[in-house]
Amino acid sequence: MKSYSYILFILLFVFASCSHQTEITSPDGSLFVSFRLTDAGAPEYAVALDGETVIDWSALGLKCAEQDMTANFVLQGSDSRFHQETWETVWGEEREITDTYKEMVVHLRHSSGAEMDITFRAFNDGFAFRYSFSEQELKSLTITEEASEYRFTAEHQVWSIPWRTEYYEGLWTKAPLSAIDTVCSPVTIELQNGGYAFVHEASLRDYPAQNLYYADGALRTYLTPWLDEHAHIMPDKAYKNVPFPSPWRMVILTRTLPELVASRIMLNLNPPCRIDDTSWIKPMKFMGIWWGMHIKTMTWEAGPKHGATTANMERYLRFAKEHGIDAVLAEGWNLGWEDWKHFDFTTPYPDWDMDYLSKLAGELGVQIVGHNETGGNAADYECNLDSIYRYHAAHGIHAIKTGYVSPIVRTVNGLQFNKGQAGVRHYRKVIETAAKYHICIDNHEPVMPTGLQRTWPNLMTQEGVRGQEWNAWSVDGGNPCEHVTVLPFTRILAGPVDFTPGVFHFENPVIPTTRVHSTLMNQLGLFVCFYSPLQMACDLPEHYMEHADAFRFIEQVPCDWEHSLLVDGKIGDFCIFARQGRATDDWYIGGITDEQPREAVVPLSMLDQGKKYSLTLYRDGDDADWLTRPYAYNIEKGEVTCSDTLRIRMAAGGGFAAAILPKN
């Protein structure tokens, strides 16, 4: 009798495991994602890397106004598959991206009758999951929260910015996991054992952006809420019609920083390109009538210091032509800058001759980058998108910088957070409409990028960062040296950034308490370390001509790449990137450091064996220092091969840049 009950117990256990717990491994077997239903029918997952539990059993599910979908599920079954594909980017940090994962879909039935699938993907460098509802009796859901959590098994260190940081323009800080109050997604985590995690979302569509907070031992999800007619926070987060999938919840999980930076999980989780002919989408370097407004020597609005005049733009266009810069941005060319409330996107100020300038730009072969600041009136902009883009396209303008300066935007659904569901819908509509008119978008005051550019590569770059402009006017004196050494491992992992590198003149007589905390060589290093396919060289032409020999690097450096790699780095201390220009054998290396001087050690093993290359090295002068001698630099030339190692001293707040071109 005893042995019968023992066998029965084993059978029950096996049955229970089969019906309630299921798992997948990454293709290389290093990462293990398990799923189970608890006795209460609550879905949970756990993750192990190299046999060590990194994320313990963590909650899944959705809280909805109609019903609580965090428990009372039964497992109907599960499917799994292996996927491997290599796809070509329209532009990017590399030409080819490989997408390899194992997928497991668990089919759940809720006690209410609703059916929900959870799809897990295990990659060699992380994992992702999402909820989906197929066509069924249930027709809609009001999501009031997502139960998704990440129960990390140790007290790691987390880099983050608070969730209400206006436009994500904050300084990232590091804090223990348990001290994380509500912060924006993404967060970058330095794991106790020396590895790294990057928690974010991918393919954010018609859904609020996620935020994260720590409670009861886990990092949890706080979806950006809807606001009511008085702009007060509502309990509702997302209104969804069934069928729909949620965005992907993703975690990059790697042992080293170069692997973290090289992960392409976020792009791989977005659907393939939806634009058939992408030949009109071109990565470009651009200058602009812009920095002058920020250092207050020019104005956006018409008047004696008006920046966007026909004569000034002509000067910029001719300068760009002479120096091989692809395009010129002009801000303040259109009516509305007096009160920032009623922008007119198709009527220039009288001192801006659009017909003349667009004809001149065409003759010179230099593009004009348009500028549409909405002042946060997204609704007005959205209602006029077609006529606005038709006007720009008719003037040969194929790239537009958009802006939403207002902490809360006026959407077609009233005043809302820009990263709430209404804001996310708006940005999406802008990108899709712009594509119809062959217009690329540089989105300022955006929602945090989530890899949408794979599907819509006309979404080329975004701000969502405390950028260079803070060095022009910030009351706290400007960005500390450390800031730029944090961004490649935090914000920029979410996608291209319009940081606007390239200030060459650090004194600002109008706001003397503020300055750029870097050497000139650090500014050059940014062109390689900060990836953007629309890359701005932000300073004035006359400032570039003060250091024409150093400007040569900006003229030369591409903004579209065949391969990219992090040579070395430490979050908040320094970083060194090497990138190969797309469809060339040319390599560019950039390094930046914080307020600590340090030596960059760069083995050139990425170069082809047996080839000789010419090196032009732009490096800090021996006595350079961001505060006392920011302009001290040397330019050295030489010959290198793949067996050489460069050793370059970076000054306090300094850096370097190198162009390494094959010799014939």
Q: Which of 115, 125, 442, 463 touches ligand NOJ (CB under 6 A)?
A: 463
Task: For ligand NOJ, give the closer residue by CB, 115 or 331.
Answer: 331
**Contact (Cβ atoms closer than 8 angstroms) between residue 659 and residue 616:** yes
Question: Active-site positions?
Answer: 469
In the complex, minimum distance from the CB of residue 432 to ligand NOJ, in angstroms, rounded to a whole number: 23
Give the residue carrying structure tokens 């998108």: 385
Task: For ligand NOJ, give the closer residue by CB, 382 or 620.
Answer: 382
Footprint of ligand NOJ on 476-515 (CB under 6 A): none
Reduced to 3 DSSP states, what percent helix, strand and coil does the chain have, rounded to the nearest 5?
20, 40, 40
Write the single-letter amino acid at 580: Q
Write the single-letter amino acid at 581: G
Buried b (16+ CB within 10 A) or exposed e, 146-169: bbbbbbbbeebebbbbebebebbb
Task: For ligand NOJ, give the closer residue by CB, 373 or 562.
Answer: 373
Q: Burial of 346 by CB count in 10 Å (0-12 exposed, 13-18 middle, 19+ buried)? A: middle
Q: Which of 373, 539, 562, 594 touches ligand NOJ (CB under 6 A)?
A: 373
In the complex, minimum distance from the CB of residue 401 to ligand NOJ, in angstroms, rounded to a whole number: 7
In the complex, minimum distance from the CB of residue 457 to ligand NOJ, in angstroms, rounded to a whole number: 22
Tokens of 172: 């990232």
Q: Which of 336, 403, 621, 630 touches ligand NOJ (CB under 6 A)?
A: 403
Give yes or no for a cis peptide into 243 (omega within 30° of 0): yes
In the complex, minimum distance from the CB of residue 228 to ligand NOJ, in angstroms, rounded to a whole number: 28
Footprint of ligand NOJ on 184-203 (CB under 6 A): none
Task: For ligand NOJ, give the closer residue by CB, 403 or 501.
Answer: 403
In the complex, minimum distance from the CB of residue 445 to ligand NOJ, in angstroms, rounded to a whole number: 7
Site string for ligand NOJ, 410-449 (x = CB under 6 A): ----------------------------------x-----
Task: For ligand NOJ, give the closer residue by CB, 30 or 474.
Answer: 474
Rounded Cα distance between 457 and 87, Å, is 14
In the complex, minimum distance from the CB of residue 444 to ligand NOJ, in angstroms, rounded to a whole number: 4
Q: Residue 93, interface with ligand NOJ (CB under 6 A)?
A: no
Task: For ligand NOJ, give the closer residue by CB, 102 or 483.
Answer: 483
Rounded Cα distance between 462 and 464, Å, is 6
Give the residue carrying structure tokens 């209400």: 164
In the complex, minimum distance from the CB of residue 465 to ligand NOJ, in angstroms, rounded to a whole number: 9
Task: For ligand NOJ, give the closer residue by CB, 339 or 623.
Answer: 339
Rounded Cα distance between 226 and 409, Å, is 12
| Chain-centre distance for alpha carbon 553 | 25
**Contact (Cβ atoms closer than 8 angstroms) between residue 332 and residue 303:** no
Helix axis angle, 354-364 relative to 310-322, nearest 10°?
Answer: 10
Backbone angles phi, psi at 510, to 5 degrees: -75, -40
Number of residues that bind ligand NOJ (CB under 6 A): 8
Give the residue carrying structure tokens 């920083």: 257
Angle, vertex CA 21, rays to CA 19 and CA 24, nearest 5: 120
**What is the SS3 assignment for 364?**
helix
Q: Residue 105, interface with ligand NOJ (CB under 6 A)?
A: no
Task: For ligand NOJ, give the closer residue by CB, 290 or 574.
Answer: 290
Inter-CA distances, 538 with 150, 467, 527, Å: 40, 11, 11
**Contact (Cβ atoms closer than 8 angstroms) between residue 629 and residue 621:** yes
Cβ neighbours of residue 3 closer than 8 Å, sequence gap 6 or more:
none
- Strand order of the sheet with strand 149-152? 21-25, 31-37, 43-49, 52-59, 149-152, 218-223, 210-215, 183-184
In the complex, minimum distance from the CB of residue 304 to ligand NOJ, in angstroms, rounded to a whole number: 20
Q: Which of 335, 405, 632, 642 touches ligand NOJ (CB under 6 A)?
A: 405
Inter-CA distances, 560 with 172, 283, 586, Å: 27, 6, 12
Torsion over CA of 477, 481, 486 and 487, rounded to 10 degrees?
Answer: 60
Task: For ligand NOJ, give the closer residue by CB, 373 or 594.
Answer: 373
**Contact (Cβ atoms closer than 8 angstroms) between residue 518 and residue 481:** yes
Inter-CA distances, 624 with 11, 81, 240, Å: 73, 56, 56
In the complex, minimum distance from the CB of residue 308 to ligand NOJ, in angstroms, rounded to a whole number: 11
Q: Residue 469, interface with ligand NOJ (CB under 6 A)?
A: yes
Footprint of ligand NOJ on 293-332 (CB under 6 A): 331
Task: For ligand NOJ, give the closer residue by CB, 391 or 473.
Answer: 473
In the complex, minimum distance from the CB of residue 464 to ligand NOJ, in angstroms, rounded to a whole number: 10
Give the residue carrying structure tokens 């999951």: 129
Task: For ligand NOJ, give the closer residue by CB, 223 or 295.
Answer: 295
In the complex, minimum distance from the CB of residue 460 to ligand NOJ, in angstroms, rounded to a whole number: 15
The DSSP code sequence of 191-223 is: -TTS-EEEEEEE---SSPPEEEEEETTEEEEEE
State in Å, rounded, how far the first CA of the chain is from the last one.
86
Binding site for ligand NOJ (CB under 6 A): 290, 331, 373, 403, 405, 444, 463, 469
